[in-house]
Structure 1
Amino acid sequence: MAITVSIELNRDIEIPGSYDEVFELLADVPRSASHFPKVDKLIDLGDNVYRWEMEKVGVDKHAIQSVYACRYAADKDAGKITWEPVRGEGNGVVKGAWVLRANGDNATSVKFQTSAELTVPLPGLLKLAISPVIKHEFNSLVDTYMNNLKKAF
């Protein structure tokens, strides 16, 4: 039996770097991902597609691992970096976007939006208990990621 947890996140941050520097970092998926906590592996599948394998959470047969793949596209003129899910890769479906806007010469306003569906092998009865835990963990990871990106500049 499995349950699916849906997560939607939006963040607005200001990064103390020029538009070009910030766009270059965020468009470079491996470099950007290096600032995301608890990534076990980021695998380049070619053609701007990356599979994210997060660290396992839990113990032995009760450990949960999020695995998903996305195809990335970057449009510097539009100030947008998007990711679309690649079906059939792992137990998650993730999509989202970065939207960047220069805020003077040395700062960039960044909007981050993502939505995810994670299917985990747990009995349906646990959905009410585990959904808030998974959502809290995902929020915490994204908040740490945002802070790490700011520190990169």
Structure 2
Amino acid sequence: MAISVDIKRQNRETVPAAFERVVALLEDVEATLAHFPSLRSFEPLGDSVYHWRLAPLGPVTHKTRIDFATRFSIDKVAGVVEFKPVPKIGNASIGGRIEIKAKAASHSDIAINVAGKVEVPVSWLLKAVATPIVMREFNGLVDGFVANLKNNYL
């Protein structure tokens, strides 16, 4: 049995980097997403499409792989990075948007919005607890990504 779990996460941070620097760094999609926690591989498929494969997530006895593909577009002037789900690749469909806004000459606000669905195989006994576990794990990944960018990249 598999269930579909809706995921949604929003995060906003101020980083000690000028708008131009943040946009330039995020423009290098592969280097930026290398900071995503639990990322096992990130394979370019062409035409700004990337296939993500995450290390199995969840409790030790019920680890689940998550993989999906997204198409990236970047608007450097507006400071927007969008990623849209690519259908029929993997067990998840995830998209979102990263918005960068200049806060001061040397600081920027970064807002990350991510939403999608993850198909998770579970027994009927675990159906009720699977959704909050998947949501918690995914929220931790997004928060970890922002922290890694802030601490190691900017």
Q: TM-score, normalised by structure 2?
A: 0.92
Quick one: percent identity of the two aligned structures? 32
TM-score, normalised on structure 1?
A: 0.93
Letter matched to residue 54 of structure 1: L
User: 2:17 maps to which residue?
Assistant: 17
Task: Tell me which amino acid in the other structure corresponds to 1:21.
Answer: R
Cα gap change, 1:31 to 1:124, in 2 (>3 Å): same
In structure 1, the residue matched to 2:66 is 66
2:141 is matched by which residue type in structure 1? L
SS in 2 for 1:87: strand
The alpha carbon displacement at 1:126 in A equals: 2.2
CA distance in 2 between counterparts of 1:130 and 1:81 reads 31
Between structures 1 and 2, the one with greater strand share: 2
Q: Which residue of 2 aligns with 1:107?
A: 107
Deviation of 1:59 after TM superposition, in Å, equals: 8.5
Going from structure 1 to structure 2, the CA distance change for 1:9 and 1:58 (only over 3 Å counts) comes to closer
Once the two structures are superposed, the pairs formed by residues 3-152 of structure 1 within 5 Å of their partners are 3-57=3-57, 62-151=62-151, 152=153
**5+ residue gaps, structure 1:** none
Runs of 5+ in structure 2 lacking a partner?
none
Worse overlay, 83-92 or 62-71: 62-71
The one-letter code matched in structure 2 to 1:6 is D
Aligned pair count? 153
Over aligned residues, Cα RMSD in angstroms? 1.7
What is the SS of the residue equivalent to 1:97? strand
Partners of 1:99 and 1:58 in 2: CA distance: 29
